[in-house]
Amino acid sequence: MKTIVLAARKGGVGKTTLTANLAVLASGYKGPDSEIEDLEVAILTQDPQKGIDMWWNVREKHWPHFIKLNTNLVPVTMLRMLRDKGMKYTFIDTPPGYTRVVESAMRLADLVVIPVQPSMADLWAAFDTVDAAKRIGVDYVLVINKASPGTSIAKEAAEELSQSNHYLWPPVFQRVGNAAAFGRGLATVEHSPFSAASEELFQLWIAVHARLHGKRILGHPRGSVWKGPFTVAEWKRSFTHDG
């Protein structure tokens, strides 16, 4: 079982949104007509703000598994139990800040995903979490989230990070579809499968998956040169090709 922890000292950067989306994609979601109900993915949350609890409550599907932790520490025994039950992936959504609770989750992770909004101030704030991951000795990746389409600041942030092998492409843009899907208890790919937002999140899952399994993505689908956000047309083309 692979454990993925979403963590960031800053609030509101997308930990919960990305947890929900990645967990659905990890379940093998293949498109609107697929019947996939993969029960081998779990979401654990320790966030008292109830963001992902609400998502789960309005979700009319019984997967991924959802577990709210009552204690303020991630019990190792809970992860062991999930592993014994045959879970392939467990995602842990953490509250903002770098607390004992977050550290305990990071210590149990195979990968820490750190969402960061594309500005220098946000990047600097993320370095606290990066330092913590380094200290603990756990693999980590920075993911740009909530980038505004058409702004140069997203481009600059992506370029700033692109030299690091801890930066995961692609950036995820600020798109209303993501917030709308979340409010309906859905992942974006379930809510608007043929959208650029879905494509970004799908590519992000491919990148996280590759990272977890020690694979390299040989060249990005659109080449390694920055070309701005995906268009819906591009997403449709890639969906058609990939089936």
Ligand X SMILES: Nc1ncnc2c1ncn2[C@@H]1O[C@H](COP(=O)(O)OP(=O)(O)OP(=O)(O)O)[C@@H](O)[C@H]1O
Q: Which residues bind ligand X (CB under 6 A)?
A: 11-17, 47, 49, 51, 95-96, 145-146, 172, 174-175, 178-179, 182
Task: Quote the least distance from Cβ 18 to Mg ion, whole Å.
Answer: 9
Identify the DSSP state of 10. Answer: S
Task: Quote the least distance from Cβ 131 to ligand X, whole Å.
Answer: 19
Q: Return the bridge partners of 49, or none.
A: none
Task: Quote the least distance from Cβ 232 to ligand X, whole Å.
Answer: 15
Identify the DSSP state of 105. Answer: H
47 or 199, CB closer to Mg ion?
A: 47
Query: 177 phi and psi, to 5 degrees?
Result: -55, -35
Interface residues with Mg ion (CB under 5 A) are 15-16, 51
117 and 145 Cβ atoms separated by less than 8 Å: yes
Give the residue among 93, 226, 128 at the shortest CA–CA distance from 169. Answer: 226
35 and 197 Cβ atoms separated by less than 8 Å: no
Task: Quote the least distance from Cβ 16 to ligand X, whole Å.
Answer: 3
191 and 184 Cβ atoms separated by less than 8 Å: yes
179 or 233, CB closer to ligand X?
A: 179
Q: Tell me which residue has its CB nearest to Mg ion.
A: 16
90 or 178, CB closer to ligand X?
A: 178
Task: Quote the least distance from Cβ 96 to ligand X, whole Å.
Answer: 4
64 and 41 Cβ atoms separated by less than 8 Å: yes
15 or 59, CB closer to Mg ion?
A: 15
100 or 216, CB closer to ligand X?
A: 100
Give the strand pairing for 111-116 and 2-6. Answer: parallel
